[in-house]
Amino acid sequence: MSMLALNDGPSRILTLPRRKSVFVVVNSSELSDEDLLVRIGAGDRTAFEAIFNRYAPRVKSYLMRLGAGAAAAEDLAQEAMISVWRRAASYDAAKAKPSTWVFVIARNAWIDRLRREKVALAYQLANPPIEESQEEAPDAAVVRRGDESRVADALAELSEEQRQVVRLSFFEDNSHSEIAARLSLPLGTVKSRLRLALTKLRAHWEQYS
């Protein structure tokens, strides 16, 4: 594996198992998340630190929004990052963006915790990219990657107001009335905005399926 990347920024020095003495200079902040995950898959801790620093605080933030207390969110975020370490070798950039991949790991950590690991079923069934990555046909993978850019397209078609309610409702798990209170809007407006946004998103996907 060639890991040589020279640059001017602050850098770390890793020592590879000795034959001749070889120094590999890596500046992790210059690498894309995809590259970092590939390196983590090969056991590179420096790359792991970079991914940890980038994602762990956000994963914790996400978990707290789902209702985890600060201590549980901290613990689960660490657990999720350990899963990132363990599973990185199976990461496939053709199938999912790093942010999607990390998100799914964090979400599954949360669901498993909710179930106290008794029923680790639903999300394993539903998410072959992580659990059964070998079984997905290559053409299906292309569709998945395509889905992601389509989401970006679809979201771009929403108005700022619609994006906001979609975000508050699904990503931050607010009830319709909480959103109404937060945005100082009548409940009916929140509901119709959300319905409209989802109809638009769905119409966008249905063009392709």
Partner 1 sequence: MSPRHHPSADILASYATGTLDPGFGLVVGVHVGSCAKCRAQVSAFEATSGAALNDLPQAQLASGALAQTLARLDQIRFRPVAPDTRPLLERLPLEPKRWVAPGVWVAAVNTPRSAEDRVYVLSVGKSALTARHEHSGAEFCVVLKGAYRDELGVFAAGDFAFADSDVNHQPVVEGDQDCICLFATEGRLKPHGLIGRLAFELADV
Residue number with CB closer to partner 1 (22 or 192): 192
Where does residue 203 rank: exposed (0-12), middle (13-18), buried (19+ CB within 10 A)?
exposed
Residue number with CB closer to partner 1 (49 or 92): 49
Residue 189 CA to residue 169 CA, distance in Å, equals 14
Residue number with CB closer to partner 1 (38 or 62): 62
- Torsion sign (Cα): 100, 103, 108, 114: negative
Interface positions, 44-63, toward partner 1 (CB under 8 A): 45, 48-49, 52-53, 55-62
- Give the range of 1-9, 18-26, 97-105, 178-186 binding partner 1 by CB under 8 A: 97-105
Query: Binding partner 1 by CB under 8 A: which of 36, 91, 101, 180?
Result: 101
Residue number with CB closer to partner 1 (22 or 57): 57
Beta strands in the chain, from DSSP E residues, in sequence order:
12-15, 23-26
Residue number with CB closer to partner 1 (20 or 59): 59
Q: How many CA atoms lie less than 13 Å away from 84 in the CB half-sphere? A: 35
Q: How far is the CB of 61 from partner 1 (least distance, A)?
A: 4
Q: Say if CB 182 and CB 168 are below 8 A apart.
A: yes
Residue 114 CA to residue 169 CA, distance in Å, equals 20
Q: One symbol per residue from 7 to 26: x for binding partner 1 (CB under 8 A), - otherwise; what is it?
A: --------------------
Residue 77 CA to residue 70 CA, distance in Å, equals 10
Q: Is 96 in the site for partner 1 (CB under 8 A)?
A: yes
Q: How far is the CB of 6 from partner 1 (least distance, A)?
A: 26
